[in-house]
Chains A and B, each alone.
Chain A
Amino acid sequence: MSGSLEAVRPAGPLQGLRTWWTMLKICLEERLVYRGDFALGTLMRFLPIVTQVFLWTAVFGATSRGDIAGYTRNDIVAYYLLTMLTRAFSSMPGLAAGIARSVRDGSVKKFLIQPVDYVSFLLAARVAHKLVYYAVAAIPFALVFFVCRSYFPPVPDATTIAAFLLSLALSFLLGFFMEVTLGMLGFWFMEVSSIVFGYMLVQYLLSGHMFPIDLLKGTPTGIAGVSLADVVHWLPFEYTAYFSSAVWLGKVKGAQLVSSLAIEAGWVVVMAVACRVAWWRGTRRYSAFGG
């Protein structure tokens, strides 16, 4: 089979919607099989935050400063908890590796002849994965957030909440398209696990998962008046963890909030196009033999 074969498109919008709904239902049922594992895994993921809470409490205890880069000790704890929530939207475990594997073992070829768009199928599967995850993880999340409620500032105004929700939705799309694009590299490289691991390292550091990006405001880049935090602001990574958390905590407001949302939306478009181009060019050079 040659990659020059075009994937057959669904007949019309209604048919396309029906196909998408079927894919979503199948994926939902598949995911619900592992609900127990999901709940246990979710609770365990909070354990590293416990050490971060104690670490930052010790740091604040040893310094006379009331805040570090604009964050009080409570802000830092709330920040780490909120990044857990943001990462629940933007993280896509196994997505890139799964795409690369399907290219390597040839299972991707069915999407070249079936009337199913591969990227749409992946999106449906991931939406299903997330819906199940949220349904199962809601209880552990609610429990942890309730126990830690004293660390959070008062609930922000409706505009901030709307911006927060929008940033979460965009972070899901951004995380999805970034991972899919990465996985598509499998058309050019047989093994992408090292590339994925390298991406994870950069992502973990620059997304704000490890610490609030504001802590980098004093880190020089060699360019006058430009800190490392300024550079990171223009990259896509901080929108997958830091940004939403900072919005809720009121660290990003007004015109900066609008421009940051625009940058995030811009990155979603860029990565969606990159993913489509990678699929289009990848399938053109792809070839598979046998059943």
Chain B
Amino acid sequence: MARYFAIFLTFARACLVRDMTFRANFILECLTSLGWMSMNLAFYLLVFTFTSEIGKGTGWSKEPFFAFVATGLIINSVVQAFFMPSAEELTEMVRTGGLDAVLVQPLDAQFLLSMHRVDFSALANGAVGVGLLAWAMARMDHAPPALAWLLYPLLLLCGVAILYGLVIMLAAATILMGRNQSLYDFWFYITNFSRYPAEIYSGPWGGPLRMICTFVIPILLVVNVPARVIAQPFTGELWIGVACAVIAAAVALVVSRLVFQRALARYRSASS
């Protein structure tokens, strides 16, 4: 484990050196990323000029909702920084046979393929997320108990683990299919469902959708559970959500590992 951590630090250092070599580009990437996020925040501010909360009686008024958004920013920035850049390269590696070079390395292939590239500019959104969270928490009616603050980092990790599992399963699909650009688009579209509180998915269509996005593809647990722990009154019901998030994270990691191993076993080299 220590060896893998040291190798990961070497990868991260190399990526940081590369980013700092093209500093202007790095700053520009941070700014564009922040621009996109600011636009979304402006949209939410606009929505709150017409309503006091998202969903009647849900408790997602302005400050709790922005704590929710901040939680999403933090989790997504970690995934975008540490896992997505490597996963995005996999499509080309499979198509061109570059994956062969990875498989002959004396290291775990999943580790190498999912963590060899780090995009530090993606962490800019996470930093703003932390600031936004502080802003929202300072303005909320109730202060979360100490237990909520203890659970919060654990649940953030669970959220990251669920998304990581999804990334790995899409990577496995890449290996099986040879090329899956549409499936990576699918990643962005499916994670879109996690951007809003689960309560908005109600009614004859919303209810089943909520069940699917909670128990089949547990995307709704990613942001909802940690955000709810700190932004909503801490009640006994929250423990069910916490348990679901922890189980979903463990299952995502195990299942994605199995799927990835099976995909690798069926891999046929594309190189000569």
A273 at the interface (CB under 8 A from B): no
B201 at the interface (CB under 8 A from A): yes
A157 at the interface (CB under 8 A from B): no
Whether B39 and A204, one on each chain, are in contact in the complex, defined by CB atoms closer than 8 angstroms, is yes
Whether A40 and B182, one on each chain, are in contact in the complex, defined by CB atoms closer than 8 angstroms, is yes
Q: Is the interface of B mostly helix, strand, loop or mixed?
A: helix
The stretch from A4-12, A43-51, A82-90, A243-251 touching chain B is: A43-51
Whether B200 and A55, one on each chain, are in contact in the complex, defined by CB atoms closer than 8 angstroms, is yes
Residues of B within 8 A of A205 (CB): 39, 42
Q: Is the interface of A mostly helix, strand, loop or mixed?
A: helix
Whether A194 and B200, one on each chain, are in contact in the complex, defined by CB atoms closer than 8 angstroms, is no
CA distance A40 to B206 in the complex (A): 23
Write the nearest CB–CB distance from B101 to chain A, whole angstroms.
Answer: 27
Report if A37-B181 is in contact (Cβ < 8 Å); known contacts: A65-B50, A201-B39, A210-B43.
yes
What is the total of A-B residue contacts with beta carbons within 8 Å? 82
Report if A44-B189 is in contact (Cβ < 8 Å); known contacts: A57-B200, A201-B35.
yes
B5 at the interface (CB under 8 A from A): no
Whether B32 and A197, one on each chain, are in contact in the complex, defined by CB atoms closer than 8 angstroms, is yes
As a 0/1 sequence over residues 162 to 190 of chain A, the CB contacts with chain B under 8 angstroms (1 = contact) are: 00000000000000000000000000000
Write the nearest CB–CB distance from B173 to chain A, whole angstroms.
Answer: 13
Report if A201-B36 is in contact (Cβ < 8 Å); known contacts: A55-B196, A57-B200, A58-B58.
yes
Whether B51 and A63, one on each chain, are in contact in the complex, defined by CB atoms closer than 8 angstroms, is yes
Query: Which B8-63 residues have C-beta < 8 A from chain A?
Result: 25, 28, 32, 35-36, 39, 42-43, 46-47, 49-56, 58
Whether A61 and B55, one on each chain, are in contact in the complex, defined by CB atoms closer than 8 angstroms, is yes
- Residue in B36, B50, B182, B185 whose CB lies within 8 Å of A68: B50
Write the nearest CB–CB distance from B199 to chain A, whole angstroms.
Answer: 7
Write the nearest CB–CB distance from B183 to chain A, whole angstroms.
Answer: 9
Whether A44 and B43, one on each chain, are in contact in the complex, defined by CB atoms closer than 8 angstroms, is no
Report if A210-B39 is in contact (Cβ < 8 Å); known contacts: A44-B185, A62-B53.
yes
CA distance A210 to B49 in the complex (A): 16
A20 at the interface (CB under 8 A from B): no
Count of chain A residues near B, Cβ 8 A: 32
B192 at the interface (CB under 8 A from A): yes
CA distance A216 to B43 in the complex (A): 10
A161 at the interface (CB under 8 A from B): no
Whether A62 and B39, one on each chain, are in contact in the complex, defined by CB atoms closer than 8 angstroms, is no
B236 at the interface (CB under 8 A from A): no
Report if A194-B56 is in contact (Cβ < 8 Å); known contacts: A37-B182, A51-B196, A57-B200.
no
Query: Which A237-277 residues have C-beta < 8 A from chain B?
Result: none
Residues of B within 8 A of A198 (CB): 32, 35
Residues of A within 8 A of B50 (CB): 59, 63, 65, 68-69, 215
Whether B182 and A54, one on each chain, are in contact in the complex, defined by CB atoms closer than 8 angstroms, is no
Whether B55 and A58, one on each chain, are in contact in the complex, defined by CB atoms closer than 8 angstroms, is yes
The residue on A at minimum CB distance from B38 is A201
- Residue in B55, B192, B201 whose CB lies within 8 Å of A48: B192
Residues of A within 8 A of B193 (CB): 50-51
Whether B46 and A62, one on each chain, are in contact in the complex, defined by CB atoms closer than 8 angstroms, is no
Residues of A within 8 A of B51 (CB): 59, 62-63
The residue on A at minimum CB distance from B55 is A58
B190 at the interface (CB under 8 A from A): yes
Q: Which residues of A contact B (CB under 8 A)?
A: 37, 40-41, 44-45, 47-48, 50-51, 54-55, 57-59, 61-63, 65, 68-69, 194, 197-198, 201, 204-205, 210-211, 215-216, 218-219
Closest A-B pairs by Cβ, 8 of them: A58-B55, A47-B189, A58-B200, A54-B200, A62-B56, A63-B51, A61-B56, A59-B51
The contact sample of 5 A-B pairs, CB cut-off 8 A, is A54-B206, A59-B54, A62-B53, A197-B32, A198-B35
